[in-house]
Structures are given as C-alpha cells and as structure tokens.
Amino acid sequence: MKIWAKNSENSGDLINKGLRDAVAMVDTFTVGRDREMDALLAEADILGSLAHTRMLETINLLTADELESVQMELKNILAEVRRGEFAIADGIEDIHSQVEWMLTKRLGDTGKKIHSGRSRNDQILVDLRIFLRHEIAAIVRSAKQLFDRLQTLSEKHKNVLMPGYTHLQIAMPSSFGLWFGAYAESLADDMQMMLAAWRVTNRNPLGSAAGYGSSFPLNREMTTRLLGFESPAYNAVYAQMGRGKTERIVAQAVSSLAATVGRLAMDNTMWLNQNFGFISYPDTLTTGSSIMPHKKNPDVWEIARGKCNLLQALPGTVTMLTTNLPLGYNRDFQLLKETVFPALQDMRQVLEMADAMLTHIEVRTDILDDPRYAYLFSVESVNALVLKGVPFRDAYRAVGTKIESGNFKPDTQIRHTHIGSIGNLATEQIAALMNATLTQFEFEKVERAEAELIAD
C-alpha cells in the first residue's frame, strides 16, 4: 500500500505484463532495506503521531471523540511494538503507511485524518530526530560507564609504572594510571561533540510539511513541548535541509568517539602481545589458535578496532550521500538510514564491550625492572643535573655521552608533581569536565515529556 498513490496505480489494472514487471522492479529497487530500517522507527513514529493528533484537535481537524479513539489505538500499537508483536506488513511501503493503515483498519475514516497538516517528509524528519535522541542518550550513557571504569582503573593503578613511547621508541616513564586517565579525558572531550549533536538533533521539524509549511494553523510550539524538543526547527525550508545535515553531525560525534575507543583497542592489542606483555586477560576472554597452543588472541579488541575504523569513515559516507543535492526532499536520503542506524548500534556495542573487557584487565607491576627500560630515565638524570645548576644543554650532552659509552646509571626516582603528570593525575578535574558536559544533555526532560505523552 502506498498512501501517496492514485487509485489507478493501486488497482492492479496495469495494461501489460512488461509494465507490471517493471513496476515490481521499481518497488523493490526504491524500497530497498527501508522497511527493515523503518521498523526501528516504529516507537518514534507513534510518539510523533500522538503529539501531532493532539495538536490537530486544538485546531479543529479532529473532534474530541476522534482524538480519544486515535490516541487509544496509537498507544495500543505502541504496546504491540514494545511486546515485539509489531511488523510492517508485506506490500506496505514504510512505517508511516503501516501505522496509518492499522489505524484506518481499526477506526475507519478517523484513521485517515491523522495525516492532515503534515507530509511524509516532516514525519520522517521528526521520527529520525526522536530516534537519534534515544540513540545519543544510549551512547552517552555507555560512554559514561566506560569513562567511570577508566577513572577507577586510573586511580587503582596510579603507582604502577610502564614505559612511555614516542615514535614507538622507548621514551620516558609513564604509568597505568596516566594511560587509563588519558582515555577517560579523551571521552570527556568526545562528549562535547556528542552534546553538539544532541543540540542540533533536539529541535522539532514537525509542521514543516513537505518543506514549505502548511495552510493549516498548525501549533508547532505545542508539538515541540509535547515531544520534549528544545525548540522548533523554525524555518520550514531549513527544517527539510536538516535531513542529512543532522545525520552528518551525529556521525561526526560518533567518529570522534570511535577514534578514542579504536586507539584504546590498539593499545590493548599491542600491550597483550608477548613482546610487550604489559597486560593480560582471562583465557576465556581471548581466543586460541587452531594449531598454536600458546596463542591468546585479542579478538574482541581487534573487532572493536575494525568497527571503530569503519565508524570513523561514517561522516564521509553521509557527506557523499548528501553532497550537492538540490533543495527539498530527495530519495537519496533514504539510504542514510541503512548507513547510520547500524553504525549507531555498533558504537554502543563497542563501548559496552570495551567496558566489559576492562573489568577483567590485569596489569603487570614489574615492567620497569627489566634493564631494557633503563633509558626511560635519561630525562630524569638530565633534570637532576639541571636542578644542581648545570645548564640544560650541558646536562643533556653529559647524559648522552654516558649512554653512548655504556656508562649510564639511571636515576629511577620519579619526581613528577605537576598537574596531569604521573604524580598528579587530575582525576577529579577530569571527572568534573565530564560531569559539566553531561548535565547539559537534559535527557530527563525528554524522557519525562515522552512518558507524559503515552500515559493513560
């Protein structure tokens, strides 16, 4: 069923088999995976219709009795969605058609009235923004859980030293506390990107219709309030221009987060390697080889690294799908769903797996006892001479000469005290950075509005 089709196109009276076959091919090609992706939008679509129909009653496009019956049936359909009993039927094009078809089947002509004052264009826009809000909230909460894990590990292992590297060469002393804390702070910055995506997403496009508004006196402020949006997307044309732009901004935030977790995955993969042996995991969390009994492969971290690399390409994919499109709706936008939706699920899964793995990480405490790491302390020796009054360049040359002659004796005392160093991890300050960002999302406001909308 196509809610936009003319009677003759739905009648089955096409004049020849060749044309019928071509129509079937067009349907298959243009719908693609859209019905599969649209099933994920079912709850968002119903929430949008609950708000829209309440507004329609206030401008006399639905009677009070019609509104009551529509609201009741929409909530019944929502319950079916949440019980896993909802599906887009064969022959029905998308989620919007499915919900309207179900209402019409149950309520008759009243069900046909819910589309007044809106287009499938602004209907999909509001669905996407409701859906993306939920996904952003889930990702942020998973990121916060990983952040807390890293902070805990940073404090727990703050006195356990490990080598620091530049150019993948032994450089200076580091610590597991510093390592874990670095990723925690990186996540705090990533949440700034996610907050920007949230703010762009959390504006209401409903009422922009096909992109040029409506002659009905729509109360867009009312639907904005009912759905918990921060404000309307005011200009009707710009609301439609937001399709693709919103997904791109969300993709950029996801890409930033994926870069952090992907690098964390690489570090874990490398530190688990026998040539480093800095960390270990229970055998049950690694995989073995079919012929090499000594192997403990970091498959979880490798899959996470691969997924994060793909996620970092997401903004480019979205950009290429939407670049140079003409003003207004274009069917190309449909492909964004099958690109963005799975990516959001992957991002959340990677965060959850990273947290699950780090729960069971074991760190080696005697790494720097190995003489191969003696040169880590060359800078400490240089600084010790400087503190005695030797000019830095002379101290550097003196220590370098001892290293070249094989007479270097490391000064292994760690004197780092400045903020953000081995001796002063700034854990509380990093936590404050994260919390200052998280309080700006106002997830509770959205959740409260949606709960009130579906309340009996």
Q: Where are the beta strands (DSSP E) in 21-84?
A: none
Looking at residue 97, its pLDDT comes to: 92
Q: Are residues 258 and 206 both part of a single domain?
A: yes
Helix (H) or strand (E) holding 362: strand 362-363
Q: Is residue 264 part of a domain?
A: yes
* Helix/strand/coil for 361: coil
CA angle, 450 then 452 then 456, to 5°: 120
Q: Are residues 390 and 448 both part of a single domain?
A: no
Looking at residue 112, its pLDDT comes to: 94
- Residue type for position 124: I
The dihedral over CA atoms of 446, 449, 452, 454, expressed in degrees to the nearest 10, equals: -70
Q: Are residues 129 and 31 both part of a single domain?
A: no
Q: Are residues 416 and 433 both part of a single domain?
A: no
CATH number at residue 86: 1.10.275.10
Residue 4 confidence (pLDDT) above 60: no
Token pair for residue 323? 């670049």
- Token look-up 């909460």 returns 141
Q: Is residue 6 part of a domain?
A: no
Q: Are residues 268 and 336 both part of a single domain?
A: yes
pLDDT digits (tens, 9 = 90+) for 116-140: 999 999 999 999 999 999 999 999 9
Confidence of residue 307 (pLDDT cuts 50, 70, 90): very high
- Give the least confident one: 13-22, 174-183, 230-239: 13-22
DSSP-derived letter for residue 118 is: -
Q: Are residues 233 and 305 both part of a single domain?
A: yes
pLDDT digits (tens, 9 = 90+) for 419-443: 999 999 999 999 999 999 999 999 9
**Phi and psi for 86 in degrees, rounded to 5?**
-100, 140
Looking at residue 14, its pLDDT comes to: 56
Residue 7 confidence (pLDDT) above 80: no
Confidence of residue 90 (pLDDT cuts 50, 70, 90): confident
Over residues 86-93, mean pLDDT: 88
Looking at residue 10, its pLDDT comes to: 52
Token pair for residue 415? 């004197």
Q: Find the domain containing 74 and state its range.
A: 15-115
Q: Is residue 3 part of a domain?
A: no
Looking at residue 3, its pLDDT comes to: 57
Looking at residue 369, its pLDDT comes to: 93
Q: Are residues 269 and 417 both part of a single domain?
A: no
Instruction: Quote the mean pLDDT of the chain.
Output: 93
Query: Mind spelling out the 3-state secondary structure of 125-141?
Result: HHHHHHHHHHHHHHHHH
Q: Are residues 57 and 100 both part of a single domain?
A: yes
Confidence of residue 26 (pLDDT cuts 50, 70, 90): confident
Confidence of residue 2 (pLDDT cuts 50, 70, 90): low
Q: Are residues 364 and 374 both part of a single domain?
A: no
Q: Are residues 107 and 140 both part of a single domain?
A: no
Q: Are residues 283 and 328 both part of a single domain?
A: yes
- Helix segments in 210-362, DSSP class H: 220-226, 236-272, 299-312, 314-322, 334-358
- Give the least confident one: 193-207, 250-264, 379-393: 379-393
Among 288, 201, 3, 263, smallest CA distance to 121 is for: 3
**Phi and psi for 14 in degrees, rounded to 5?**
-65, 145
Q: Are residues 364 and 379 both part of a single domain?
A: no
Q: Is residue 8 part of a domain?
A: no
In 75-101, which positions are buried (b, 16+ CB within 10 angstroms) versus exposed (e)?
Answer: bebbeebeeeebebeeebbbbbbbbbb
Q: Is residue 9 part of a domain?
A: no
Q: Is residue 388 part of a domain?
A: yes
- In this predicted model, which residue has the larger pLDDT, 14 or 217? 217
Pairing of strands 231-232, 279-280: unpaired
Share of the chain above pLDDT 90, in %: 84
Q: Does the pTM exceed 0.95?
A: no
Looking at residue 13, its pLDDT comes to: 56
DSSP-derived letter for residue 115 is: G
Residue 201 confidence (pLDDT) above 70: yes
- Residue type for position 281: Y
Q: Is residue 25 part of a domain?
A: yes
Total domain count, the chain? 3
Of 115, 149, 182, which one is at a domain's C-terminal end? 115
Helix (H) or strand (E) holding 45: helix 42-58
Q: Is residue 2 part of a domain?
A: no
Looking at residue 54, its pLDDT comes to: 98
